[in-house]
């Protein structure tokens, strides 16, 4: 059976972003301030969802990374989190592009990098979950081959 390599769950840049996102979301809500690009480009309910998304994505991401139980559960939580983070940072990049135009290139570059990094990490996690599934299936079938006949429930 081939060796399965699961990427490290201790991604320092991901953890830094996940730790910063909820702080930013809470500050936006508590201080009742928003970037001008967000105020101009997003309706009020979308702004509230964007702020809440920062909090949820960050907290869930850290929870997924630090999940003490099954690896697949932690990876699933982390996957959902990076997908949300990629979406909300993409929303902010579009708002910056619409409102700031060429003057917002520097800020857009960093925000797009977070969105792209989130997408990249989502692909890594999806591949890792696939590897885990295949490893589990291979182990199950190996046990069946050694232990006897296969039943509809996957046991012997």
Whether 19 is covered by a domain: the verdict is yes
Q: For the segment 25-36, what is each residue's pLDDT rounded down to a tens digit?
A: 999 999 999 999
**32: region left, alpha or beta (phi > 0 left; psi from -120 to 50 alpha):** left
Q: For the segment 38-82, what is each residue's pLDDT rounded down to a tens digit?
A: 999 999 999 999 999 999 999 999 999 999 999 899 999 999 999
For all residues of the chain together, what is the average pLDDT?
Answer: 86
∠ CA 44-47-48, rounded to 5°: 90
Whether 1 is covered by a domain: the verdict is no
Whether 156 is covered by a domain: the verdict is no
What pTM was computed for the model? 0.81
pLDDT at 136: 74
For residues 78 and 82, give the distance between their C-alpha atoms in angstroms, rounded to a whole number. Answer: 6
DSSP state of 102: G
Whether 151 is covered by a domain: the verdict is no
Look at the chain and report how many structural domains it folds into: 1
Whether 141 is covered by a domain: the verdict is yes
99 lies in which domain range? 12-146
Whether 153 is covered by a domain: the verdict is no
């Amino acid at each position: 059976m081939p060796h399965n390599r699961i990427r490290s769950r201790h991604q320092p840049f991901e953890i830094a972003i996940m730790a910063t996102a909820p702080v930013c979301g809470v500050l936006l809500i508590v201080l009742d301030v928003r970037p001008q690009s967000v105020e101009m480009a997003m309706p009020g309910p979308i702004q509230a969802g964007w702020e809440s998304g920062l909090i949820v994505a960050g907290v869930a991401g850290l929870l997924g990374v630090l999940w003490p139980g099954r690896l697949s559960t932690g990876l699933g939580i982390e996957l959902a989190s990076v997908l949300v983070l990629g979406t909300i940072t993409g929303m902010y990049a579009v708002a910056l592009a619409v409102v700031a135009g060429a003057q917002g290139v520097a800020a857009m570059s960093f925000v797009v990098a977070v969105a792209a990094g989130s997408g990249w990490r989502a692909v890594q996690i999806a591949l890792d979950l696939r590897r885990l599934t295949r490893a589990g299936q291979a182990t199950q079938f190996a046990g069946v081959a050694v232990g006897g006949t296969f039943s509809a429930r996957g046991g012997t």
